């Protein structure tokens, strides 16, 4: 009886690179941009959810609302505020890049330079904000 499958000896050898050990993802910069975009989107969603809940406290109990707002002045919360700012800025700039890649005819050709532009703009805005917010947190802790 004839077989339609080739034997192992007759099969052509595959030229595949050995798999890198210790790395879950083997993508390039675009893949990490995609991952960061999803993470910052989820973080922004959860912030908006908490924001709606704490704002709704005003109708239920103004004293509870004032207590919650007072906790936002804690130095740890100031660091969370910095994280929120960083997440929202990256998500916004990267979202513009994604739209340009999708709707601009040359978008795919320039997606890597646009990603570096996003990272550059993000750093230009986040670093001064980080200095300001961290100095405010240090002032809260040590007085000043």
- Domain-by-domain residue ranges, the chain? 29-143
Domain 29-143 is in which class?
mainly alpha
Instruction: State the pLDDT confidence band at 10, using cuts at 50, 70 and 90.
Output: low
Tokens of 29: 């910069």
Q: Which range, 1-5, 62-66, 70-74, 95-99, has the best average confidence (pLDDT)? A: 95-99
Residue 144 has pLDDT above 90, yes or no: no
pLDDT confidence of residue 40: 96
3-state SS, one letter per residue, for 65-129: HHHHHHHCCCHHHHHHHHHHHHHHHHHHHHHHHHHHHHHCCCCCCCHHHHHHHHHHHHHHHHHHH
pLDDT confidence of residue 94: 96
Q: What is the pTM of this model?
A: 0.75
d(CA 80, CA 83): 5
pLDDT confidence of residue 7: 58
Q: Is the pLDDT higher at 92 or at 1?
A: 92
**C-alpha 22: how far from chain center:** 23
pLDDT confidence of residue 143: 83
């Amino acid at each position: 009886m004839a077989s339609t499958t080739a034997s192992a000896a007759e099969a052509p050898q595959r030229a595949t690179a050995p798999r890198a050990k210790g790395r879950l993802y083997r993508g390039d910069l675009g893949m990490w941009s995609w991952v960061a975009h999803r993470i910052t989107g989820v973080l922004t969603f959860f912030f908006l959810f908490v924001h709606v809940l704490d704002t709704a406290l005003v109708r239920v109990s103004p004293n509870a609302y004032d207590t919650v707002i007072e906790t936002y002045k804690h130095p740890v919360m100031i660091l969370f505020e910095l994280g929120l700012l960083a997440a929202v800025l990256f998500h916004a700039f990267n979202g513009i890049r994604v739209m340009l890649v999708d709707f601009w005819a040359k978008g795919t050709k320039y997606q890597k330079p646009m990603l570096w532009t996003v990272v550059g703009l993000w750093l230009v805005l986040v670093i001064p904000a980080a200095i300001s917010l961290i100095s405010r947190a240090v002032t809260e802790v040590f007085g000043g």
